[in-house]
């Protein structure tokens, strides 16, 4: 469904915006929570999209990035009594540092090695979290206090729906700005042909590191919000399945395309829920979901979202 | 002093010598060609000049500075821009975006600029777009700027690569077999472009080419290599009359000069 012109595009986006904004008035808490979960995956997918979709790096450990954000916020609130909003910059900083530590030595290598290193790093993060005292070991961090936003105590699911809705919009704007900038184009050049990108003067190692940091910071911020929404975090929330899910959402929708990534994440979060109550199928819904993924990937290896039509 | 000086360049790959003690200069503002039979080591010379290969021995200087051990992007940043033998465009990006990649060298906004879009960043974006559009016009591809590079004809892909290199405002332009796969008309156009780049923008051009018509038409100086070593150097007329060259190259491989 290629948008024919800017006006229709704007109208569609405005309608979507209004629809999303009024939805909580009509929906029950369970449905809202499903939608919240969808938006949570959208945030993670948008963050990972900068690494995987824009730059073409393979990251198999994105869960570690949002674990770092979640634990940073959790520890600062629980152990040091910080205000949630103040933990955000720290969370971003810690995520960026972690991305440097893992990215700087590995991004010089080919992408395949990065996949293995990120996978290993994610396990290190998860196992450390399970064994350290400060992270609450296996039981994690519980009863994290929920924050206030201009006097409103964010306790209801509808509050979190709006918070994440706003975050999705912010992440989309960030993604768009990156894509249509010198920085974002350099990432696209690296993805398309690393040698040619070098030949055009792109410091490929540095730009890959920037992309990696940007993706990690978005993941970390998402993790921070996740921690206060859930009020408890434990190592189980950040295992390899989680990383694989996010990667799948990005690939399913169409790597690098923002609407595609959004649709992919939504599909990923909502589809299994739709079948939860259907008898017989309900128990095997993940099996059907897996089959569906295979069908989609065979028929549309470029992802669900269509190619951009050529402007003439 | 010459713009680029290659002195005693030697390059070996696990015991096989691709280039041996090669010495030549590229004068500023000149059009110089490097010719030689297949496997003579021409592309290796190119790859050493652009940092894609590490020379085993010898030196390459550009404006008096050594290029040895510099990474390719550093060399590009100095103003040495190359094209590739087998066109290496960014296939899934538009022609315009491909050409804008050339402006990467002459612009500097980074992550913060992208996120905050402050005035300096917007100005630079406009500037980059303008450079790219001018370059597309120069090679005559303006009306195809929104097409994906992979959907272009081969000749148009070659021209896109040329526009991309031009957008980088090169001091020295290195063309690796730019005429390969082009028809006669496209070759004539290419020769015109090479002259235009030099005359209008003062770009020094160095090319590797098999097509003798083109080489003789555009070059002011020709360097001939065989088995990695230089066997002759001179004006096109001198080269055409050189017995060593005729024996080593033109004489045994006459077809190279035709289509």
**Min Cα separation B212/chain A (Å):** 27
Is there a contact between B250 and B212 (Cβ–Cβ < 8 Å)? yes
A152 pLDDT band (50/70/90 cuts)? Answer: confident
Rg (CA), chain A: 20
**Min Cα separation A312/chain B (Å):** 7
Q: Which residues contact B185 (CB under 8 A, 6 or more apart)?
A: none
Token look-up 């869960």 returns A63
Is B109 in the A-facing interface, judged by CB distances under 8 Å?
yes
In chain B, which residues have their Cβ closer than 8 Å to the Cβ of A198?
71-73, 76
- Comparing CB atoms, the residue among A177, A185, A310 nearest residue B115 is A177
How would you list the strands of the sheet with B65-66, edge to edge? B16-26, B4-13, B57-62, B65-66
- Comparing CB atoms, the residue among A188, A203, A210 nearest residue B111 is A210
Angle at A290 between CA A264 and CA A44, to 5 degrees: 30
d(CA B25, CA B6): 6
Here the tokens at position A17 are: 């915006």
**Min Cα separation A289/chain B (Å):** 30
d(CA B209, CA B46): 12
CB within 8 Å: B110 and A189:
no
d(CA B38, CA B227): 9
In chain A, which residues have their Cβ closer than 8 Å to the Cβ of B108?
182
Judged by DSSP in three states, B223 sits in strand
Token look-up 């905050």 returns B116
CB within 8 Å: B76 and A201:
yes
Angle formed by the axes of helices A62-78 and A84-106, nearest 10°: 140
In chain A, which residues have their Cβ closer than 8 Å to the Cβ of B70?
none
pLDDT value at position A2?
47
Angle formed by the axes of helices A29-49 and A240-253, nearest 10°: 80
Is B27 in the A-facing interface, judged by CB distances under 8 Å?
no
CB within 8 Å: B105 and A200:
yes
**Min Cα separation B223/chain A (Å):** 24
d(CA A55, CA A172): 17
Q: What is the dihedral of CA B226, B227, B230, B234, to 10 degrees?
A: 10
In chain A, which residues have their Cβ closer than 8 Å to the Cβ of B125?
181-182
> To the nearest whole number, what is the mean pLDDT of chain A?
89
Neighbour count for residue B257 (Cβ, 10 Å): 14
- Comparing CB atoms, the residue among B84, B101, B151 nearest residue A185 is B101
A42-85 pLDDT, tens digit each: 999 999 999 999 999 989 999 999 999 999 999 999 999 999 99
Angle at A212 between CA A210 and CA A214, to 5 degrees: 70
Judged by DSSP in three states, B24 sits in strand
d(CA A13, CA A5): 12
Residues of chain A by 3-state class (helix, strand, coil), percent to 5: 75, 0, 25
Is there a contact between A161 and A36 (Cβ–Cβ < 8 Å)? yes
CB within 8 Å: A196 and B84:
yes
pLDDT value at position A312?
41
The residue among A81, A61, A72 whose CA lies nearest residue A220 is A72
The residue among B182, B191, B176, B126 whose CA lies nearest residue B153 is B182
Q: Judge whether residue A95 has pLDDT over 80.
A: yes
Judged by DSSP in three states, B203 sits in coil
d(CA A19, CA A213): 33
CB within 8 Å: A182 and B102:
no
CA B207: distance to chain centroid?
A: 6
Residue A36 — φ and ψ, nearest 5°?
A: -60, -45
| Exposed/middle/buried for residue B221 (C-beta within 10 Å: 0-12, 13-18, 19+) | buried
Judged by DSSP in three states, B206 sits in strand
Per-position DSSP letters for B60-113, written without gaps between them: EEETTEE-TT--HHHHHHTTEEE--TT----TTSBHHHHHHGGGGGG----HHH
- Comparing CB atoms, the residue among B73, B89, B113 nearest residue A181 is B113
Token look-up 């039509």 returns A309
d(CA A37, CA A105): 34
pTM of the model: 0.90
pLDDT value at position B258?
44
Q: What is the dihedral of CA B244, B48, B132, B198, to 10 degrees?
A: -40
Here the tokens at position A146 are: 């929920």
d(CA A68, CA A219): 9
Interface size A-B, in CB pairs within 8 Å, comes to 99
In chain A, which residues have their Cβ closer than 8 Å to the Cβ of B110?
182-183, 210
Residue B19 — φ and ψ, nearest 5°?
A: -135, 135
Mutate to test the interface with A, among B49, B50, B73, B93 (most CBs of A within 10 A): B73
| Average pLDDT, consecutive stretches of 10 residues, N- to C-terminus, chain B (259 residues) | 92 88 94 89 91 92 94 95 93 95 92 89 94 95 94 94 96 94 93 94 94 92 90 91 78 48
Neighbour count for residue A150 (Cβ, 10 Å): 4
CB within 8 Å: A310 and B148:
yes
Q: Which B residues in the span 51-90 are in contact with A, Cβ-Cβ below 8 Å?
A: 52, 71-73, 76-77, 81-82, 84, 88-90
Judged by DSSP in three states, B177 sits in coil
CB within 8 Å: B88 and A214:
no
In chain A, which residues have their Cβ closer than 8 Å to the Cβ of B82?
199
**Residue of chain A whose Cα is closest to the Cα of B96:** A185
d(CA B209, CA A263): 49
A114 pLDDT band (50/70/90 cuts)? Answer: confident
Token look-up 């989309």 returns A172
Full set of structural domains in chain B with CATH: 2-79+170-250 (3.40.50.300), 90-153 (no CATH)
CB within 8 Å: A174 and B90:
no
A176-220 pLDDT, tens digit each: 999 999 999 999 999 999 999 999 999 999 999 999 999 999 999
């Amino acid at each position: 469904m290629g948008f024919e012109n800017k006006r229709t595009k704007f109208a569609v986006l405005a309608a979507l915006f209004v629809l999303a904004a009024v939805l909580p008035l009509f929906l029950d808490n369970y449905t809202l929570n499903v939608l919240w979960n969808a938006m949570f995956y959208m945030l993670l997918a948008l963050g990972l999209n900068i690494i995987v979709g824009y730059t073409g790096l393979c990251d198999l450990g994105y869960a570690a990035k949002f674990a770092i954000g979640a634990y940073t916020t959790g520890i600062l609130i629980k152990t040091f009594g910080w205000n949630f909003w103040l933990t955000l910059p720290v969370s971003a900083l810690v995520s960026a540092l972690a991305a440097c530590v893992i990215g700087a030595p590995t991004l010089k290598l080919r992408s395949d090695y990065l996949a293995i290193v990120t996978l290993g790093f994610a396990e290190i993060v998860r196992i450390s979290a399970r064994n350290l005292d400060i992270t609450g070991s296996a039981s994690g961090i519980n009863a994290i206090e929920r924050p206030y936003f201009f006097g409103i105590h964010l306790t209801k699911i509808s509050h979190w729906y709006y918070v994440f809705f706003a975050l999705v919009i912010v992440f989309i704007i960030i993604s768009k700005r990156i894509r249509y900038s010198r920085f974002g184009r350099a990432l696209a050049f690296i993805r398309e042909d690393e040698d040619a990108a070098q030949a055009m003067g792109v410091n490929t190692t540095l730009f890959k590191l920037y992309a990696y940091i940007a993706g990690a910071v978005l993941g970390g911020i998402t993790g921070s919000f996740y921690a206060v929404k859930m009020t408890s975090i434990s190592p189980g929330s950040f295992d390899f399945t989680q990383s694989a899910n996010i990667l799948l959402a990005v690939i399913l929708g169409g790597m690098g395309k923002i609407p595609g990534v959004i649709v992919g994440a939504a599909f990923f979060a909502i589809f299994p829920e739709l079948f939860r109550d259907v008898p017989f199928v309900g128990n095997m819904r993940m099996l059907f979901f897996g089959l569906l993924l295979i069908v989609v990937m065979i028929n549309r290896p470029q992802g669900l979202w269509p190619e951009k039509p050529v402007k003439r | 002093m010459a713009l680029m000086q290659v002195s005693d360049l030697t390059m070996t790959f696990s015991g096989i010598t691709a280039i041996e003690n090669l010495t030549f200069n590229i004068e500023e503002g000149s059009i110089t060609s490097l010719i030689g039979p297949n496997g003579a080591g021409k592309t290796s010379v190119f790859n050493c000049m652009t940092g894609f290969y590490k020379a085993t021995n010898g030196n390459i200087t550009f404006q008096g500075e050594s290029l040895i051990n510099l990474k390719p992007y550093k060399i590009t940043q100095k103003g040495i821009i190359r094209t590739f033998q087998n066109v290496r465009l960014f296939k899934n990006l538009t022609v315009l975006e491909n050409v804008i990649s050339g402006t990467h060298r002459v612009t500097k906004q980074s992550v913060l600029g992208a996120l905050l879009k402050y005035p300096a960043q917007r100005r630079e974006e406009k500037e980059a777009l303008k450079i790219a559009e001018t370059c597309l016009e120069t090679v005559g591809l303006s009306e195809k700027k929104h097409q994906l590079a992979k959907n272009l004809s081969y000749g148009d892909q070659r021209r896109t690569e040329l526009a991309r290199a031009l957008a980088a405002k090169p001091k020295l332009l290195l063309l690796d077999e730019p005429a390969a796969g082009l028809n006669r008309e496209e070759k004539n156009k290419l020769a015109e472009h090479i002259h235009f780049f030099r005359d209008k923008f003062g770009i020094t051009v160095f090319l590797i080419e098999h097509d003798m018509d083109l080489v003789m038409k555009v070059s002011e100086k020709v360097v001939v290599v065989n088995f990695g070593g230089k066997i002759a150097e001179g004006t096109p007329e001198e080269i055409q009359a050189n017995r060593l060259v005729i024996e080593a190259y033109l004489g045994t491989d006459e077809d190279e000069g035709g289509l």
